[in-house]
Amino acid sequence: MILHELISYDVLRLIWWLLLGILLVGFAVMDGFDLGTGMLLPFAGRTDLERRVVINTIGPVWEGNQVWLILGGGAIFAAWPQLYAVSFSGFYLAMFAILFALILRPVAFKFRSKYDEARWRNTWDWLLFVGGFVPALICGVALGNVLQGVPFRLEPDMQIHYTGSFFGLLNPFALLTGVLSVVMLVMHGAAWLQLKADGAVADRARRFGSVAAVLTAALFALAGVLMYKFVGGYQITSAVVPTGPSNPLLKTVVQQAGAWFANYAAHPWLYVVPALGVGGALLAWLAMLARRSLLGLLCSGLSVAGIVLSVGVSMFPFILPSSIDPRASLTVWDSSSSHLTLFIMLVCVAIFLPMILAYTSWVYSVLRGKVDADDIANDRGHAY
């Protein structure tokens, strides 16, 4: 027996769909509080020392957290090449805006405190805000567009034709999901600040986070209602061949009202996923009010995970539907790499993902505890 045939092609495709979800959740949860903290920086910190406290809560970990973004991009490239090709070409300007904002962050971290002048530092503080706000907003807008369908079609030779525009992405439903993404990460960043900071910084973070948590639950519920009533969804009408070739054009697909809720109707236990999104946010709100900082962070993380996973659960088996040629929609069963490639990549994940989890856990264990303002004022042990 050939080694890669130990796991069937359909099972490998399903495993990689699950891994993609895990990596996206890892990015949203781990790097999400970095982005949220950046958005809160000009508001949670009033004085220069307070802002240095905010920056130093994420200073030692933000670079490591971005590993999840790299892993997610690498997984899409290796396991779902058609998804990579369509999304990175169709969302080119949006991706460029995200990368530009993410590039601002390391520059701002490194240069912000190099020069002791108020205007200089304030400028970099607002650039850190932009570095958190822009990725949060655009990622949310992108997910809103994915749920509605993306305007692309495929030629028989798999050549991609994207007919949309950057401003076409900014439709009402996508803007709603973009705002949801922003308030969700503000909630998560506030929960992190409450855990890692003391005094006025933690108090302000608690106030902002409480409002953001309630808004997260409300906007997520509103997005669900609007998706059910106005967005609809997509459904495969031909036979599904889980082990078939990676050619999306071999199936037929129709747009259908309520299709994104079909998986919940077939498997009611899946409602636990969106319930985590709403319930986690409300529990985070209660935990913040009760000053239970660790519980607040855990609950906000559950809410983030629930909201991100709800998209995947609703759309399965679709990964990227096409609004102008539904049969070109990419699904789990017809847009993956080969059987052998998926197996080799799975072996790599089995080796390296536990290593990443191990060193990440070790770093957070070593760096546990609150950031001390006196230590920062006396330049003891803090880089920023």
> Comparing C-alpha atoms, which of 32, 42, 54, 216 is closest to residue 132?
32
Cα Rg, the chain, nearest whole Å: 22
The pLDDT of residue 91: 84
Q: What is the pLDDT of residues 98-142, one digit of tens each?
A: 999 999 888 998 888 888 888 999 999 999 999 999 999 999 999
The pLDDT of residue 26: 92
The pLDDT of residue 4: 65
Mean pLDDT of 216-235: 93
Helices (H) and strands (E) in the chain, counts: 15, 6
Residues 40, 209: Cα–Cα separation, whole Å: 9
State yes or no: pLDDT of 375 exceeds 90: no
pLDDT band (50, 70, 90) for residue 380:
low
Average pLDDT score, the chain: 91
Is 269 or 379 the better-scoring residue by pLDDT? 269
State yes or no: pLDDT of 197 exceeds 70: yes
Coil, strand or helix: which one is 249? helix
Tally of CA atoms within 13 A in the half-sphere of 3 that contains its CB: 7
**89-116 b/e (C-beta count within 10 Å ≥ 16 → b):** ebbeebbebbeebbebbeebbeebbeee
pLDDT band (50, 70, 90) for residue 158:
confident
**Is the CB of residue 183 less than 8 Å from the CB of residue 215?**
yes
DSSP state of 168: G
State yes or no: pLDDT of 59 exceeds 90: no
Contacts 24+ apart (CB under 8 A), 196-203: 196/57, 196/370, 196/371, 197/44, 197/53, 197/54, 197/57, 197/370, 197/371, 198/370, 198/371, 198/372, 198/373, 199/373, 200/46, 200/50, 201/44, 201/45, 201/50, 201/53, 201/54, 202/293
CA distances from 149 to 25, 142, 143, 145, 255 (A): 21, 10, 10, 6, 10
Is 384 or 175 the better-scoring residue by pLDDT? 175
Q: What is the pLDDT of residues 80-99, one digit of tens each?
A: 999 998 888 778 888 899 99
State yes or no: pLDDT of 207 exceeds 60: yes
**Is the CB of residue 187 less than 8 Å from the CB of residue 213?**
yes
Among 215-219, 313-317, 374-378, the minimum mean pLDDT is found in 374-378
